[in-house]
Chains A and B, each alone.
Chain A
Amino acid sequence: MRAAVWTEMRRPLFALAAAVLVVAQCWLMLNDVAAWRGVWPMASAAVSAPWLFLGPAAAGLSAYEAVQRTQQDAGGCAADTVAWRSSATAMLVARVVLACVVVSAGAACAVVVNLTGHAPAGFLWPSYLVVTVAFAIGSVAVGMALGRLGGPLWFAPVVAMLATFLRAAWFQGAAPGSADDAFTRIFLSGRPWVELNPHAVVASVVETVFVVVLALVAPVLATRARARRSGCTFPGGRGASLRAATGAVVMVGCAALVLTSPPVVRYRTAPSNIACSDTHPRVCVWPENAQLLPQLAEKAARADTVAQTVHGQLMTQIDEFGLSHGDSFLAMGQGTWFFSDTLAGAIAGSLAPVRCDPPQDDPGLWTYWRAQSELSALFQLQIEDRPRPPGYGDSSGIDIVEVTGVWQASPSVRNTWVADRVATMEALNQGWCG
């Protein structure tokens, strides 16, 4: 068997596929490196994300080779069961090795980047890698299964690719804990406040076992049926039937386990060793995001200065999402814009807070929230000390060009602009609450 696997691995198409997939895995990861560098769970998920594209490609390639081989075998009519099965198993094993090599290359890429990117102590999270390897093996096995079933030369590669793509994409973006989340296999991000449920990780492995058994059993049954129809001999007798029946039972068991598996992603409980700054406000982050703390602390200190300048107030402590039920922010990769948005919103909200419950249909409400949003945007620019990046999402409808102009203007112009909006908000407040 080892010789057969080695022969499979030396085929030119196999070597080419391995090289292309390894390069694609690393390139796709490095294209998005700013999102995961320095954060171990994010790096672990980054190994998974390219498989949204690599999985279908691997399935298509695997199916093409399998269907070609099936047609060659069919030319010999009287197939030798043992040789046929050993060739199919060797093909499958070679493709499993291929999948593992590609994922390992991705993992190595993530480790190298993180070790050179000042990541805190830690390593890749095995749960993400296990699910990724399981999905990768499942992809090549689906290709093998469809290819070994025969049919037109074009059918298996295209359908294998389509099936793998839909399998990967259909449950993409499911909310953590939702029913759909039980079938998520590709992770676009690995935030520190979530982890993978070990039971669901086992279910992903069981799903792969299902597909691998399918790849081994279904073609045998199909070939037997075809051979019987065409009058060819396909020896195997009761042994083959028994194996097929066992395979079918295993598949039913696997399917039941997968269908009843829990959601893959779940929220973590906050650890005791969270990293906090000594600024006002005090900023605390998950240990995995500790490298963000210096720049967050710098923004927090700047926010404190802005708050004092405009006589606003800030919370005493702000935690990264998932650490507390108080004021929190989302640390997205290495960006701090969500953080500065939370701080700016707190300052703007403290300048003229609504002291009562105004009527919801009052047209003044829109004016009030617009003024507050404009102030918040200005404070955010002051905290970040740089213009908003292109594509920054803002649903408040304010004129960011005008706000950026105010931010770049002299302090006296800026103070007047702020005072105008505070006066507007205060007047509305007075009208509502007296």
Chain B
Amino acid sequence: MKLYLRSRHVGVAVAVMAGLAAIAVAVGGRLFTVVSSAEPVTMPYRHALVMFCAVVAVASLESPVPGTDRADTGPLRSARRAHLLALLVVTVVLSAMSEAFAAVGTPAQAIRASLCWYGLALVSATVVRAAFAWVLPMVALFLLVWWGNAGGGPAVWNWATAAAAEPVSWVVAVASLALGSVVSLLRQ
């Protein structure tokens, strides 16, 4: 297990994630502006940083020796599962803590967003490869900007900014994580 952790540089990944969480606390409610169909849309940086946190966690699955990994008969598979589960917990905890310390949103929103971004990153990592775990979340971020707002507020499915009690957004987040997990398990 120690060899696995060292080969994936999991410590570096956790350090980067902690750095992102610290930045999220520092930037607080600062917004960045993007355009959505002629109307400017603003989004707090924190929401994008949660995405990057999930991407770093999943990207750290990238194997330095994929050929050797393919010959695995079991131990590596369980190490990968433990890796994914542990970094999911780290992602969720860091996101919730940064949201709580930033004191501008609710931790529940950050947890929901982490689950969804993690699932999307997992799908991307499985379909393309782990180092490209960012591809699908980046596309999803664009879709979120483009269609994630309706009638002056976030859409009910918007997993990043909808109200914490909005059930549809939770369904989307859990579905994303479930899809990512299933795709990842099937590929192993």
Q: Which residues of A contact B (CB under 8 A)?
A: 28, 31-32, 34-35, 49, 52-53, 56-57, 60, 64, 71, 151-155, 157-159, 161-162, 165, 169-170, 172-173, 188-189, 332-333, 335, 390-391, 393
In the complex, per-residue mask of B8-37: 1 if CB is within 8 Å of any chain A CB, else 0: 110011001000100000000001111101
Q: Are A158's CB and B48's CB within 8 A?
A: no
B74 in contact (CB, < 8 A) = no
* Minimum CB–CB distance for B94 against chain A, Å: 15
Chain B's interface size range is 35 or more
Contacts of A393 in B (CB 8 A): 152
Select from chain B the residue with minimum beta-carbon distance to A159. Answer: B16
The reply to whether A169 and B38 form a contact with Cβ atoms under 8 Å apart is: no
With a CB–CB cut-off of 8 A, which chain B residues contact A391?
39, 149-152
Complex Cα gap A52–B41 (Å):
13
Tell which of B83-91, B125-133, B174-182 binds the partner. B125-133
Q: Do A333 and B38 touch across chains, with their CB atoms under 8 A apart? A: yes
Using A157-B59, A157-B131 as known contacts, say yes or no to A53 and B12 having CB atoms under 8 A apart.
no
- Separation in Å of the A392 CB from the closest CB of chain B? 8
Contacts of B12 in A (CB 8 A): 151-152, 155
Besides A32-B38, A154-B61, A155-B16, 18 new A-B residue pairs in contact (Cβ under 8 A), listed by A number? A32-B37, A34-B38, A35-B37, A60-B132, A71-B64, A152-B8, A152-B60, A154-B131, A154-B133, A158-B52, A158-B131, A161-B134, A165-B48, A165-B52, A172-B34, A332-B38, A390-B150, A391-B150
Nearest A residue to B58 by beta-carbon distance? A154
| A169 adjacent to B134 (CB under 8 Å) | no
Contact A31 B33 (CB under 8 A): no
Say yes or no for B142: interface residue by CB 8 A criterion: yes
Q: Check A335–B38 contact: CB distance below 8 A.
A: yes
- Residues of chain B touching chain A, judged by Cβ–Cβ distance below 8 Å, are 8-9, 12-13, 16, 20, 31-35, 37-40, 42, 45, 48, 52, 55-56, 59-64, 130-135, 138, 141-142, 146, 149-152
CB-CB < 8 A to B61: which residues of A? 154
Say yes or no: A158-B56 contact (C-beta < 8 A), given A31-B146, A172-B32, A173-B33: yes
Contact present for A153 and B32 (CB under 8 Å): no
What is the distance, in angstroms, from B163's C-beta to the closest C-beta of chain A? 18
CA of A170 to CA of B142 in the docked complex: distance in angstroms?
A: 17
The residue on B at minimum CB distance from A168 is B32
What are the residues of chain B within 8 A of A34 when measuring CB–CB? Answer: 37-38
Are A49 and B35 interface neighbours, CB within 8 A?
Answer: yes
Q: How far is the CB of B139 from chain A (nearest CB, A)?
A: 8
A-B contact pairs, 12 of them (CB 8 A): A35-B38, A56-B134, A153-B131, A154-B59, A155-B12, A157-B59, A158-B16, A159-B16, A169-B34, A172-B32, A188-B33, A393-B152
Cβ A152 vs Cβ B33 within 8 A = no
The 10 closest A-B pairs by CB, nearest first: A173-B33, A35-B38, A154-B62, A154-B59, A152-B9, A169-B32, A188-B35, A154-B131, A153-B62, A172-B32
Residues A56 and B138 in contact in the complex (CB < 8 Å), given A153-B62, A169-B45: yes
Measured CA separation A317–B31 after assembly (Å): 37
Contact B152 A188 (CB under 8 A): no
Which residues of chain B have C-beta atoms less than 8 A from A57's C-beta? Answer: 135, 138
With a CB–CB cut-off of 8 A, which chain A residues contact B55? Answer: 158
Minimal Cβ-Cβ distance residue in B for A165: B48
Asked if B134 contacts A157 (CB within 8 A), the reply is yes
Q: Which of A35, A154, A159, A189 contacts B130 (CB 8 A)?
A: A154
Chain B residues near A71 (CB-CB < 8 A): 64
In the complex, which residues of chain B have a beta carbon less than 8 angstroms from the beta carbon of A152? 8-9, 12, 60, 62, 64
Q: What's the nearest-Cβ distance from chain A to residue B46, in Å?
A: 12
For residue A269, give the distance in angstroms from its CB to the closest CB of chain B. Answer: 26
Expressed in whole angstroms, the minimum distance between the Cβ of A29 and any Cβ of chain B is 11
Instruction: Find the A residue at minimum CB distance from B34.
Output: A52
A159–B9 CA distance with the chains assembled, in angstroms: 14
A189 touches B138 (CB 8 A): no
Q: A153-B62, A154-B130, A157-B59 are in contact. Are A390 and B151 (CB under 8 A)?
A: yes
B98 CB to closest chain A CB, in angstroms? 15
Q: Indicate if the CB atoms of A31 and B37 lie closer than 8 Å.
A: yes
Contact A162 B52 (CB under 8 A): yes
Which residues of A have CB within 8 Å of B32?
Answer: 169-170, 172-173
